[in-house]
Amino acid sequence: MQPLRGVTVVSLEQAIAAPYASRQLADLGARVIKVERPGAGDFARGYDSRVNGMSSHFVWTNRSKESLTLDFKDPRGMAVLRRLLATADVFIQNLAPGAADRAGLGAERLRAEHPRLVVCDISGYGSPGPYETMKAYDLMVQSEAGLLAVTGSGEDAAKVGISVSDIAAGMYAYSSVLAALLEREHTGTGAHLDVSMLEATAEWMGFPLYYTYGGGAPPPRAGASHATIYPYGPFESRDDQVVMMSIQNEREWRAFCAGFLERPDLADDPAYATNSARSGNRGTLGPLISARFAELTGEEAVERLAAIPVAHARVNGLAEVWEHPQLAARGRWHGVDTPAGRVPALAPPGPVDPEPRMDPVPGLGEHTDAVLTELGLPAGEIADLRSAGIV
């Protein structure tokens, strides 16, 4: 499925948010030309070396793209970039706050020059506003958006273990670009999209925000358990396996009391008859449930929960995810080529038939000569740009 065939995306991108957005577009067939610094490239290339010497972050977010090295701070490099933008449908950037405008790549100017261009700015906090010039990395935005107020345990806050604010912004940028391209089919004109990591994360904070509506107390940090639904979280079996389970309604609670706890009387106990009551009395209910799990092995507990049925899950490590039977059964693991060899990669969620696009992760500047030649630059000029360090 490549519905974006024929769409060209030029991206001045680094780190995660913008590369993740443009990779989604590439997955759907768009041509994504990633503009990188000569010599160093996207600094995410150097985050680690865990994938055959390549960065895990970079391999994850940059397949199916072309890498063009270009110093657009040099006038000759900027002239090349402007020629490239004249061929583009979408321009994405997540440079430092204000850098695109200072370089003459602000949305107002670009859309005046190219009315059909969709310009997508991704930043930490958006513009205008008192935070518009602040540097923003994932943990900073998680903190500002209140996410650390609800993650962790007790008084101890915890960062979400993935770059969730980057991912949120990347996915809103991706969906907004798709919407703008659809709208362009009706109007003939592009759009300016301004996606901030703070706003994307704050949107995902909807439940705890509304939970505190009107000055209410915030949901407590509950570790791996749910803060306001109970029982919903981890319990340990006799053989030290951790089993996640969840009760979502009173029908499930009654079935759980009878089929797992073997205490049908608990279902009618006023202390546990509603979710609010169960959550408020988890100090007494928790030991009852834990005692029952402690009588069973992990496999026995899972079998009993499945027979009711009650939602449950094993607490997998990353090694188990690589070997997850459901991912294998659905054929989700494919392969992509990289400069360091072929590596496994998850197919994009959604498309089933035909095979998804899974093109290589580019080496730094791998496509520079090809892109410049396509723009009409003669070989001699390309050689001059290279010797000057502009590409």
Predicted confidence (pLDDT) at residue 18 exceeds the cutoff of 70 = yes
In this structure, CATH architecture of domain 8-205+331-387: 3-Layer(aba) Sandwich (3.40)
Tokens 């396509």 belong to residue? 374
Tokens representing 5? Answer: 């065939």
Residue found under tokens 């949107």? 203
33-75 per-position pLDDT tens digit: 999 999 999 999 999 999 999 999 999 999 999 999 999 999 9
Task: Work out the average pLDDT over 306-315.
Answer: 94
pLDDT value, residue 376: 96
**Residue 264 pLDDT more than 80?**
yes
CA distances for 245 relative to 170, 240, 309, 344, 384, angstroms: 31, 15, 11, 31, 64
Q: What integer pLDDT is reported at residue 356 of this predicted model?
A: 84
**CA-CA distance, 182 to 313, in Å (whole number)?**
39
pTM of the model: 0.92
Per-residue pLDDT tens over the stretch 188-208: 999 999 999 999 999 999 999
Q: How confident is the model at residue 355 (pLDDT cuts 50, 70, 90)?
A: confident
Say whether 232-314 and 8-205+331-387 share the same fold: no
Mean pLDDT computed over every residue of the chain? 95
pLDDT above 90 as % of the chain: 92
| pLDDT value of residue 374 | 96
**pLDDT for res 106:** 95
221 vs 85, more confident? 85
**162 to each of 103, 142, 177, 194, 224, how far by Cα in Å?**
32, 11, 24, 23, 15
Domain boundaries, the chain: 8-205+331-387, 232-314
Please report which confidence band the pLDDT of residue 143 belongs to, taking 50, 70 and 90 as the band edges. Answer: very high
pLDDT at 1: 66
At residue 293, does pLDDT exceed 80? yes
Non-local CB neighbours of 192 within 8 Å, separated by 6+ positions: 107, 108, 111, 119, 121
Q: How many CB atoms lie under 10 A from the CB of residue 229?
A: 17
Average pLDDT over residues 305-309: 95
Report residue 350's pLDDT band, with 50, 70 and 90 as the boundaries: confident
99-136 pLDDT, tens digit each:
999 999 999 999 999 999 999 999 999 989 999 999 89
Instruction: Write out pLDDT tens, residues 217-232.
Output: 999 888 889 999 999 9
Q: Can you give the pLDDT at residue 351?
A: 72
The token pair at 376 is 């009409």
Indicate if the alpha-carbon torsion angle 146, 22, 27, 138 is positive or negative.
Answer: negative
CATH class held by domain 232-314: alpha beta
Q: Which pLDDT score is estimated for 157?
A: 92
